[in-house]
Structure 1
Amino acid sequence: MYAKIGAASIAIVLVASLLVLVIALCYAELASKFTENGAAWIYSYRAFGRFVGFEVGFYAWILGIIILSSEIAGFLTALAGFFPELKDSSLYDLSAMLICIFLVIVNYFGISLAKFLNNLSSISKLIVIFLFVAVGIFYFDLSKFQPFVLPEVVSNDSFYSSVGAALGVIFYAFTGFSFLPIAAARMDNPQKNIPLALISVIMTCSVIYFLLVVVSISILGSNLAVSSLPVADAFSKMVGSWGYNLIVIGMLISIGGVILAFSFSVPLIASSLALQHQLLPEFIGEKNKYNRPVNALMITFALCSVLLLSGDYLFLISLAVFASFVQYIPTALAVLKLRNDKNLPVGFVIPGGRTVPILAILSSLYLLSNFNMKIFIFGCAGLVVGAVVYFFQKIRIDN
């Protein structure tokens, strides 16, 4: 973000937080009306029919696989800081496959181990983050925030595109929230708890991201633009080399937690598509004795492995953000369509009438306009593949 716009990154975090919050509020309203697994695809299915619902659901599954792949790639890239041997492509690929196998085993036996490891990851990374912020407060330097916007952005009259590019970067840090309602059927009182969880997650993450950016700018200043591990570099500058190692370990724990969370929720999307309304072949949704969708799990990680062996990390991240908006826009439109549906419970209603859903749609369209043509083409290709799968499945059922 700093490389795109400078110290104004702190404002970008706040703007992104508000934009994500209006989108999350749309999810919160719809989550209060449904208890089924599936989230965005369930909302789109009820609002706009089978085809739109399938496209959103299929794309949510693809998005999850993309994020899983990019996070595993990021984990191995960070791990290479400790073990340079991982820069060898053969060892990298072998390590990626072993991680996928480990995640299949963890998920095969149900949620207990995944839940324990995810909670351990969350607690560990928060301790590291708050340590970084607590120490960083004593190094606060207001002069590092001048100039607020990079001079080249002002001189080139590229403020609009720079803001869009910076927002696109930080949006990846928020993409996980849309997966929170996917396992609604497994939650206690989801109609009440999911809206609360969505809003509190966005608010909490926004504060953490803001503090991380403020402290990083205070310590590194303009050097932030060329740092590949900025928080680690900043902590190292404050406390010495052990600080760098601590942050990298914290990063590995953090990424590991994201990987575990997504490895649990992503197969549920395919299972939900298969078992509810038969939008995918039924065998994909079959569950084992631990109540896990074992076939969906295997297919998910097979596709994840293909991406890991052939995909580019930065490209995968950009594609993941693009794919997120394919869910956000139909979800916001579904709020407008389903709000007055008398067959659904009233639940939580976003204040302000249609204002928030319309803002969610407009902000999503603005951010989509900032992607390059390659991302746009590949992103739309996913929708085409989804349409082909849908019509083949429809023909199979009809016959």
Structure 2
Amino acid sequence: MSPAPAPHTTPARAKDSRRKPLAQLHAEAQALDLKRTLTLRQLLLLGIGTVVGAGIYVMTGTAAANFAGPSVLLAFLVAALACVFTALCYGELAALFPVAGSTYSYAYVTMSERTAWWVGWLSLLEFAISCTAVAAGLSGYANALLGTFHLKLPGFLTHPTLMTVPGSGGQAMTAGWRFDLLGLGSIMVVTLVLMKGIHESSRLNDVIVLLKVGAILLFVGVGAFWVDMSNFHPFIPASKGDFQFGWGGVFRAASVLFFAYTGFEAVSTAAAEARNPTRDVPWAIVGTLFVCMLIFMAVAAVLIGVVPYQALNVPDPLAVATHAMNKPWLGLLVSGAATIGLFTGLFGLLYAQSRILMVMAQDGLLPPVFARLNKRFHTPLLGTLIIGVGVALLTAVLPIDVIGDLVSIGIALGYAQVCLNVIWCRNTMPERERPFKVPLGGVTIKGIWLGTVPVLGILFCLLMMVPLLANMLEALGKGNAIPFALTALYVGSGWALYHFYGRHHSTMHPDRRNVNFQEGEGAPSHGD
């Protein structure tokens, strides 16, 4: 037999077709020294705590005021449909591959290393930018909370460096000597908590989630008696063009509120630390989305009923509603719960990001510092600190308007990939046992199974992207290149990192593949 070609002569097609054997994936999962302690309840609370964040506390008001009016309720349903189909697909994949890494690991087994890299890179973008959005919302509510005690930070310490120009529809921006100190500080606090460990941190997370959801339910219960039905007429305001109101506005609002559901997939990244991942992770994912959908719909209905939608284009719409009800005690409680509760959103998002980084580094695609586990806490301590500092700096610089759109685009691409993975796995691994399957069956065309749920998930994800891309291109045409430039910079850096580092250091490289699999060199090392 002729010797294997040298790395520099390996055909491009061969490089693109690198896949991780399923047996190797499970072997590496066993090699990880992570504690399997998370129960179904803890996974569910992790998901709810991550999802109930800036989306409901901030985005509901801006989506209603700028795009949908009272029909923001329909927008929540449209966004939920896209997420429901994807959540079911996540459930099947999480039961099939109960390991850390989420969509990245799924793509590595089913498609190719290059595809897995881009799925992982987009997931990192999603979680990182989601963190900045949650931290920005937290900063707004914390500042409002300080105001109730007649404390006020200077404006240059409560706003990001880049800000959108009021009345420009997010298409014009200004830069100034500003730095969101509260947002930056919140990220660093959560980072330090996560460095200690998921088991200890999850206990604090459980308490805060119950506090946050309790305050929201109290807002809904009290606010229901203050609802003015005239605020719902007209339910779908007349269109003003450019996705402002009308049915176009409903779908534009849905693409914004798509961000509100971000986080349910964070549960799948905890599979390596779940006691019974094949059973608990799928149900926690689906349960998280269902509970959060009910919460979102109830809050939006009360919010619109209490305050005319035109007055909700503010960073703290729930606080505005409590003021309209003349309930200062409720406003204090809601702002306090929002400030504390948004920490759980940061917790879930930063946790998910650190675990994806850990798995990618374990595979050699990223520097090993992100995979090195601390001996005392059994966490990727230094990697968590590095990513926490990076996200904190982004929070202090980027405005939430740009953040929300970038997140939604990344989410839509990542979710579509998850749905495609289910179709791929059903056709290439039909014999594998699936403790959880997507419902509604499917059709077989020319020997290829096409599931109803995965196909609908892909279509809805693409539908979510259309208004966002249209607005981004319109902003570019009007001279605001920042959203487009940020996207291009991230994609370009991802290509460079994989091309010059990842593909050469990959554990699936022809020079390392057999050695790593046999001797376990792909497992994370244990350092201080």
- Whether the TM-score (by the shorter chain) exceeds 0.5 is yes
Opposite residue 461 of structure 2, the aligned amino acid is S
SS of structure 1 residue aligned to 2:96: coil
Identify the range of structure 1 (313-322 vs 170-179) with the bigger mean alpha-carbon deviation.
313-322
User: Could you tell me whether the CA contact under 8 Å between 1:16 and 1:171 is conserved in 2?
Assistant: yes
Which residue, out of 222, 231, 246, partners 2:318? 231
User: Gaps (5+ residues) in structure 2?
Assistant: 1-62, 158-176, 443-450, 474-480, 512-528
Deviates most, 372-381 or 248-257: 372-381
Choose 146-155 or 295-304, whichever is displaced more. 146-155
Task: Work out whether 1:323 is the aligned partner of 2:410.
Answer: yes
- Match for residue 439 of structure 2? 351
1:391 aligns with 2:499: yes
Give the structure, 1 or 2, with the largest relative contact order (CA under 8 Å, sep 6 or more): 1
> Which amino acid is 1:185 matched to?
A
The amino acid of 1:255's aligned partner reads L
Mean CA deviation greater in 45-54 or 305-314: 305-314
Identity of aligned residues (%): 25
**For residues 78 and 225 of structure 1, do their structure 2 counterparts lie closer, same or farther at Cα, with a shift above 3 Å needed?**
closer
CA positional deviation for 1:44: 1.5
User: Which shows bigger deviation, 197-206 or 157-166?
Assistant: 157-166
CA displacement, residues 77-101 of structure 1 (integer Å, 9 cap, x when unaligned): 2212224215233895554454344
Deviation, structure 1 residue 390: 1.4
Aligned to 1:363: 460
Distance (Å, rounded) in 1 between the aligned partners of 2:312 and 2:182: 30
SS of residue matched to 2:263: helix
Output the CA distance in 1 between the equivalents of 2:245 and 2:183.
39
| Structure 2 residue 106 is matched with structure 1 residue 106 | no
Q: CA 1:26–1:155 in 2, change beyond 3 Å: closer, same or farther?
A: closer
1:71-86 pair list within 5 angstroms: 71-81=134-144, 82=146, 83-86=151-154
| 1:183 counterpart letter in structure 2 | A
Residue in structure 1 matched with residue 231 of structure 2 by the alignment: 144
Unaligned runs of 5+ in 1: none
* Higher helix proportion: 1
Aligned to 1:378: 486
The 1:283–1:139 alpha-carbon spacing in structure 2 relative to 1, beyond 3 Å, is closer
Q: Give, as a single letter, the amino acid of the residue that structure 2 aligns with 1:234.
A: A
Moved more, 45-54 or 96-105: 96-105
Larger CA Rg, structure 1 vs 2: 2
Deviation at residue 300 of structure 1 after TM alignment: 0.7
Q: Residues 91, 389 of structure 1: CA spacing in aligned structure 2 closer, same or farther, 3 A cutoff? A: closer
1:286-340 Cα distance to aligned partner (Å, 9 max, x none) = 0002111123212212321331343222212221111112211111111100024
Which AA in structure 2 matches 1:344? R
Q: Distance in 2 between matches of 1:189 and 1:295?
A: 28
1:2 match = 64
Q: In the TM superposition, what is the alpha-carbon distance from 1:166 to its structure 2 partner? A: 0.5
Matches of 1:230 and 1:203, distance apart in 2: 23
Structure 1 residue 204 corresponds to structure 2 residue 291:
yes
Q: C-alpha separation between the residues in 2 aligned to 1:95 and 1:14? A: 33
Matches within 5 A, 1:276-355: 277-289=363-375, 290-340=377-427, 341-342=429-430, 344-352=432-440, 353=442, 354-355=451-452
Structure-2-length-normalised TM-score: 0.70
User: SS where residue 84 of structure 1 aligns?
Assistant: coil
Correspondent of 2:77 among 14, 19, 35: 14
Work out whether residues 339 and 346 of structure 1, in 8 Å CA contact, stay in contact via their aligned partners in 2.
Answer: no
How far the C-alpha of 1:27 sits from its partner, in A, is: 0.7
1:167-224 superposed Cα distances (whole Å, 9 cap, x missing partner): 0221111011121101211002111111111111111111111111111121113444
Contact 1:114 1:264 in 2 (8 A): no
Distance in 1, matches of 2:407 and 2:245, equals 25
Q: Does 1:244 align with 2:306?
A: no
Cα displacement (A) at 1:348: 1.5
Q: Which moved more, 1:316-325 or 1:340-349?
A: 340-349
Matched, 1:87 2:139: no
Q: Distance in 2 between matches of 1:248 and 1:161?
A: 32
Letter paired with 1:261? G
Distance in 2 between residues matched to 1:29 and 1:226, nearest whole Å: 39
TM-score between the two structures when normalised by the length of structure 1: 0.92
Q: Distance in 2 between the 1:307 and 1:156 partners?
A: 28
CA RMSD of aligned residues (A): 2.4
Quick one: distance in 2 between partners of 1:12 and 1:73? 23
Give a deviation string over 1:222-275, Cα, whole Å, max 9, x none.
444444422222222224222222221121122111112223222111001111
